[in-house]
A and B are shown apart, each in its own frame.
Chain A
């Protein structure tokens, strides 16, 4: 087992275990902190896949932005003084069975598919290539996404302060 494999199993274990705790812990704040570890694990997996720029973006946007937003959501919508930061659950058993069936189906599907794999050479850094692609081939999509993000943020701000 090479070092690459060991690091992969480490990150995969962090990701899947903390994702499991995210959806099973009753305390929402604990769930948010477990989500932090999930995002870190996913970022590590991106690095192992040779996508260093995506990994950094994942850390900056998810951990620095989305997770903080979610924590704000938890704090603003619960009575902190009454310690009500718990979440109830509905229909645990049928959901567990259904999700297990779904996961089994997906896993059987991916094991039985004969993927044509082609291992690309991993360059030292992908930021240069991604930057060129974003400003040449995908320039229109890039600009449209920028406008979409602006509209979404203005809409969110005006909706939240009403």
Chain B
């Protein structure tokens, strides 16, 4: 009995050793920085000389005296509001097409997935060329149909649609997520529906969609968190400026400029907490709404 107890304790100790790297990392790179950042958001911290308590001044200035804050928030919301429904619907549509018995289906899946693994400056440069008004492929292709293409990255009205367009290219990442879940849907459900005379569309609408709602939910939650953090493409494609006319000044880009260009660190950290709160509230709303539309197998409707 006693030996067993001792063993249990020993085993528990081993457990802590296993997760020790995570605990250290969590304290040093997540929890510690979070606490510091929260405290520093109430100061005029500039990393070198000053760190005076200023109360809610940073937060107050953001909301009342900083037009660029609102611009960056608007740009980010615009991007999130359009890109997430489009990529989600696109990924579901594509996975439905790829979930059929068609010759060469494996090849097709590979092709559609490829852009999702490509990222970084190389991809942004490629899209800057594709969207180039004079020499780019996109406007050339639009020209074949007699459509005069916009100036994309040079026209403040078209910069955000351009980024959304670019995002849609890599819709294959989400596609695979949905495909995996569609393949898990029991065949007998479809057979039963077919015998009842359900059309392909009805099968898709009333079997496939409800069965994959958990993955739709997961995708929407993670894409929202990711979408609010758009930074790299805007930085590279606007040379770190967020132009033209601040149309690519997204929330994180503005925060970056405040933190690392003007070293208004306290101010930037206050900004980061506002973003955190926005993302947190949206995630909570998502979790609250989930029971209304997300269908888990084995659950009574």
Mutual binders A and B? no
B interface residue numbers (CB < 8 A to A): none
A interface residue numbers (CB < 8 A to B): none
